[in-house]
Amino acid sequence: MDKTRRKRRSPAIMNGWVPDQHGSWPMGFMPLLAGIILADKTWLLALLGIAWTGGFLLFSVGEKYLKSRFRVRYRPAVITYATVTAASGLPLLVLAPHILWWAVLYVPLIGYWAYHAWSRDERDLSSRISTIIASVLIVPVATNLAHPTPWFSGDIDPLAWLFAALLGIYFVLTVPYVKTLIRERGETSWLVGSIVAHAISVIAMIVLAVIGWVSWVHVAVWVGVLARAVAMPLSAIKRGKPWRPAVIGPLEVAISIAVFLTLPWAW
């Protein structure tokens, strides 16, 4: 069965040109889109979008490249995406040098991820969280572009930080949730931990709605997020077989879109 599945995988996926994780696409680009929407419009956002896309694809294949100890088949994709990232990222840094201050946050996060990828422990919970934090930080990065001051100066729109936090919480919770469906399926500790974390997040969203930071529609979406964190793993146990990624992935994409669309855009 594994051999048949491998034969069906496209060369683009096998050689690292295209990410093979459904959830990585929303995680990589929803924060970028949110940042572009919130930011004061400047053509530098186009450079940021290109650099971020190249970096996202480089991250995906780079993880495989490090884990495989520099396997040759991944090298063309690594070189190509590194070139795209550098060709757009370097001019961006020249034109908006204040963006370099974000390295204070990004270098440790990327270094931590690279260490785990090299150690072949890239699925470690803390490693996943580090990449998610790096991803959602693009929201305030985008809004910082048009304001030539360091990110810690207080000039960034508070809404950008709120969006980053809301998206970050959601994406972080997808990690234990997916583990309860696949690698940790049937493990009570993971299931209980995932459900409790989701429940706490729903309570937090209710508090935010009460003080006017998010809408009650957003809270309703979070109730749905909690419901799927309970129903999906329990139903897999009841039916005696795991849910296929082809089911898990599209469902999660739909939920992530609902989370995104109900963010407090008019706050």
For the chain, the domains span 1-153, 157-267
Residue 238 parent element (H or E)? helix 216-239
3-state secondary structure at position 70:
coil
> Which residue's structure tokens are 């490090």?
66
> Which tokens sit at 86?
């550098």
Structure tokens belonging to residue 195: 């459900």
pLDDT for the residue numbered 108: 98
Both tokens of 2, joined, read 């594994």
- Rounded to whole angstroms, the Cα distance separating 116 from 111 reads 9
- Per-residue pLDDT of 118-160, as tens digits, reads 999 888 889 999 999 999 999 999 999 999 999 999 889 999 9
- For the segment 206-240, what is each residue's pLDDT rounded down to a tens digit? 999 999 999 999 999 999 999 999 999 999 998 88
**Alpha carbon separation from 135 to 68, 129, 158, 162 (Å, rounded):** 24, 10, 18, 14
pLDDT digits (tens, 9 = 90+) for 21-42: 777 899 999 999 999 999 999 9
| Each residue's pLDDT tens digit, 62-100 | 999 999 999 999 999 999 999 999 999 999 999 999 999
Q: How far apart are CA 217 and CA 254, in angstroms?
A: 16
- Reported as a single tens digit per residue, the pLDDT across 105-122 is 999 999 999 999 999 988
Question: Quick one: which of 32, 37, 24, 61 has its CA closest to 48?
Answer: 32
Please tell me the pTM assigned to this model: 0.92
pLDDT confidence band for 267 (50 / 70 / 90):
low
The letter for the amino acid at 11 is P
pLDDT of residue 8: 65
**Measured distance CA(139)–CA(82) in Å, rounded:** 22
